[in-house]
Amino acid sequence: MESTRNKLIQLLADNSEQYISGQLLSEELEISRSAIWKHMKELEKDGYQIEGKSNKGYRIISYPDKLSENTIRWGLDTDWIGKSIVHKESTTSTQHIAHDEARNGASHGTIIIADEQTNGKGRMNRSWFSSKGKGMWLSMILRPRISPQQAPQLTLLTATVLADVLHAYCHVTPLIKWPNDILLNNKKTAGILTEMQAEQDIINYIVIGIGLNVNQSESELPEEIRHKATSLFIETEKEHSIKGLIQEILVAFEKAYDQFIKNGFPDVKRKWESYGFKIGEEITIKTLRDHFQATFLGIEEDGALRIKRMDGSTEKLYSAEIDWFDDNENHAII
Ligand code: BT5
């Protein structure tokens, strides 16, 4: 049943410029014309707008905003990303599914998307709140031919893509808090989790997970993160289409990724630094041995933090705790 319905949507989508006759649909799907008519009524109940004309047939006019493989694919103008989409209404974590799919050979550019995650993952075993229908909970499977050492560059690239899309599409002013949090008004609206399966010099696959808070009101954010988290709805006082955001992000990601593969990291680094939170400002850094003030200069090719000590010497940092907000609370462990 489900696959007949998907085929029907696909046929309508492929012919959206013209009408497709009931006769042709019934031949293609090998079901009766009255069964076609019943399917159309079901689609309309789900929010698809379908025009039926007695002598011409059917034509799809618009898709519902709710997420499904079909609605995401409809109007997605990409060459390789999102050609294969797995959508779940509810799942533990899209990262789990992505790893399973990747191990089973899923292609470069496969997308996993969920309306809700019951066990969303942050970095280092932290959790990510992913309430139903309120945000974009997405994982992408990539099979880049770059060295495993370059993988952090893809996380930084993803952050710049998110910042670009939020700026252009939602008219907000995002900043990227090193390495990968997207802030609006100093509060986190998106996070990125990159996981990799690699051998010594070869990446088998990378899964990039993006969590983006879209339509939560303040009271819909869990109390424990309310003081440091936000959503596009809170910042713009407008609801945004999650489907639309997914499509914008996929299109922008594909473009940025292709450019990165062609031209390397310098453009990404420049863009990242143009969004970098506290670049050029003083931050408090704690390492295992040390506790000091330094100026945040930018990022290195390998994703490390570049800082200038008070004595003028510059340094690369991989492992430290940073007091970004000078409140001793919002520490990012590198
Ligand atoms: C991240 O980790 O920011 C990476 C988040 C990645 C989530 C996506 S959703 C799709 C895919 N599937 C998954 O299971 N995960 C990925 P990290 O930098 O460790 O930040 C985690 C911290 O952010 C938590 O400890 C909370 O303090 C805070 N946090 C949790 N949920 C949040 C939310 N919805 N909005 C803002 N902050 C949140």
Is the same domain home to 234 and 315? no
Exposure string of 90-102, with b = 16+ CB inside 10 Å and e = fewer, is ebebbbbbbbebb
Number of separate domains in the chain: 3
Domain with 323 in it: what CATH number? 2.30.30
CA of 114 to the centre of ligand 1 (A): 15
Is the same domain home to 90 and 214? yes
Ligand 1 in reach of 128 Cβ (< 6 A)? yes
Bridge partners of 314, per DSSP, are 308
Is the same domain home to 10 and 152? no
Ligand 1 in reach of 120 Cβ (< 6 A)? yes
Is the same domain home to 270 and 310? no
Give tens-digit pLDDT for 249-286.
999 999 999 999 999 999 999 999 999 999 999 999 98
Best CA proximity match to 183, nearest among 194, 172, 193: 172
pLDDT at 16 exceeding the cut of 80: no
Ligand 1, atom nearest to 181 Cα = 3
Looking at the chain, the whole-number percentage of residues with pLDDT higher than 70 is: 96
Ligand 1 in reach of 178 Cβ (< 6 A)? no
Is the same domain home to 132 and 28? no
Higher pLDDT, 200 or 259: 259
User: What is the reported pTM?
Assistant: 0.88
Ligand 1 in reach of 192 Cβ (< 6 A)? yes
Q: What is the pLDDT of residue 104?
A: 97
Is the same domain home to 171 and 214? yes
Q: For residues 235 and 189, is the Cβ–Cβ distance under 8 A?
A: yes
Q: Which of 7-21, 169-183, 204-218, 222-236 has the lowest mean pLDDT?
A: 7-21
Is the same domain home to 151 and 296? no
Q: How far apart are CA 168 and CA 190, in angstroms?
A: 16
CA of 159 to the centre of ligand 1 (A): 14
Provide mean pLDDT across the span 107-132.
97
Q: What is the pLDDT of residue 45?
A: 81
Ligand 1 in reach of 99 Cβ (< 6 A)? no
Packing angle, helices 22-29 and 33-45, rounded to 10 = 100
Q: For residues 274 and 175, is the Cβ–Cβ distance under 8 A?
A: no
Is the same domain home to 127 and 196? yes
Is the same domain home to 119 and 172? yes
Q: Would you place residue 327 in the very low, low, confident or very high pLDDT band (cuts 50, 70, 90)? A: low
Helix H or strand E encompassing 99 = helix 94-103
Domain with 228 in it: what CATH number? 3.30.930.10
Is the same domain home to 139 and 257? yes
Final residue before a domain boundary, out of 42, 62, 82? 62
Domain span at 109:
69-275
Higher pLDDT, 70 or 116: 116
Is the same domain home to 81 and 208? yes
Q: To 5 degrees, how large is the angle CA 105–CA 109–CA 110?
A: 60
Q: Which of 160-174, 176-190, 201-215, 285-299 has the lowest mean pLDDT?
A: 285-299
Q: What is the pLDDT of residue 244?
A: 94
* 128, 138, 245: residue to mutate for ligand 1 pocket, most atoms within 8 A of CB: 128
Mean pLDDT of the chain: 92
Residue for token digits 């003081």? 227
Chain centroid offset of residue 285 CA: 30
User: Which DSSP string corresponds to 132-153?
Assistant: TTTEEEEEEEE---S-GGGHHH
Taking CA atoms, 212 is separated from 12, 38, 186, 332, in Å, by 31, 37, 15, 19
Give tens-digit pLDDT for 22-60.
999 999 999 999 999 999 988 888 788 999 888 899 999
Domain with 20 in it: what CATH number? 1.10.10.10
pLDDT at 298 exceeding the cut of 60: yes
pLDDT at 290 exceeding the cut of 90: no
pLDDT at 79 exceeding the cut of 70: yes
CB within 8 Å of 171: residues ≥ 6 apart? 236
Is the same domain home to 181 and 128? yes
Final residue before a domain boundary, out of 62, 88, 111? 62
Ligand 1 in reach of 121 Cβ (< 6 A)? yes
Q: Would you place residue 319 in the very low, low, confident or very high pLDDT band (cuts 50, 70, 90)? A: low
Q: How far apart are CA 217 and CA 91, in angstroms?
A: 23
Q: What is the pLDDT of residue 321?
A: 76
Residue nearest to atom 33 of ligand 1 (CA): 129
Instruction: For residue 98, give both structure tokens.
Output: 């992505």
Give tens-digit pLDDT for 129-150.
999 999 999 999 999 999 999 9
